[in-house]
Amino acid sequence: MQRLLWILLAVLAGVLLLVARDDKAFAGLSQVDLTSLAVKIVLVVVIGSFALTLFRERFATALQSTLIWVVIALLLAVGYTYRFELQEVSDRVLAELVPGHAATRGRTVEIVRTGGSFSIGAQVNGARVPMALDTGASSVVLTQEAAKAAGLPLEMLAYTVNVETANGRARAAPVTLERLAVGGIIERSVPALIAQPGQLHTSLLGMSFLNRLESWEVRGDQLLMRAYP
């Protein structure tokens, strides 16, 4: 029990040191906010002292429980202070572990290569559509399944555009996507094609989307796309 108590005290000291060394932790607080924070700290101390008095016979146990809650509260406070940095870190970890996950950093979206190609989890009209990066495709191309999920009127399509696919020449229907999003990059009124049934296994993220970006590049195993401000 004493060992756990010392561990909790060390964690508490470490958290306080981290907050004290980083001015950003309190940079956004006004004088009124700081006063309110001080009052809350005093209340916590008073309540804690009262609790310790009630549990005088089990002082070590009460102190240990109090320290646990204090450490939890401070960790939550630090986590909230650095929530944007933590979100960016978790986003990048997911990009490494989850195929197609787009990690967003400001105006830049990063996708990690999986299995020799770039699988991309896009959003078409609010529906999640897995896509493959295809810089040789002049347009975004959707499968029938993806078009149906995106709510496009399949019964009204006219397959008037000749396209080259892995199965040879085929025809596709031109459409305009109301909204196409990859991570934090959102484009509207994007020209696209819908392949005939059975002609395409995976939707393609082509140049009608990529040409709208400020820049895009493949750097090693990473695809970096940057939107205009």
Average pLDDT (137-157) is 95
pLDDT digits (tens, 9 = 90+) for 167-223: 677 899 999 999 999 999 999 999 999 999 988 889 999 999 999 999 999 998 889
Please tell me the distance from the alpha carbon of residue 28 to that of residue 80, in angstroms, as a whole number: 13
pLDDT of residue 169: 79
Residue with tokens 């006004």: 30
User: Which is higher by pLDDT, 225 or 63?
Assistant: 225
User: Which is higher by pLDDT, 177 or 13?
Assistant: 177
pLDDT of residue 71: 74
- 3-class DSSP string for 100-138: CCCEEECCEEEEECECCECEEEEEECCEEEEEEECCCCC
Q: Is the pLDDT of residue 41 over 50?
A: yes
CA-closest candidate to residue 14, choices 70, 89, 80: 70
pLDDT of residue 26: 47
Bridge partners of 223?
A: 111, 218
Which residues, at least 6 apart from 68, have a Cβ–Cβ distance to it below 8 Å? 8
Which residues, at least 6 apart from 47, have a Cβ–Cβ distance to it below 8 Å? none
- Report residue 116's pLDDT band, with 50, 70 and 90 as the boundaries: confident
User: Which is higher by pLDDT, 54 or 24?
Assistant: 54
User: Which is higher by pLDDT, 102 or 134?
Assistant: 134
Domains and CATH numbers, the chain: 2-81 (no CATH), 98-226 (2.40.70.10)
User: Which is higher by pLDDT, 45 or 173?
Assistant: 173
pLDDT digits (tens, 9 = 90+) for 71-80: 777 777 766 6
Specify the pTM: 0.60
DSSP per-residue string spanning 37-55: HHHHHHHHHHHHHHHHHHT
pLDDT of residue 21: 47
Bridge partners of 95?
A: none
pLDDT of residue 31: 47
DSSP per-residue string spanning 133-177: E-TT-SSEEE-HHHHHHTT--GGG----EEEEETTEEEEEEEEEE
Average pLDDT (117-140) is 93
Q: Is the pLDDT of residue 91 over 50?
A: yes
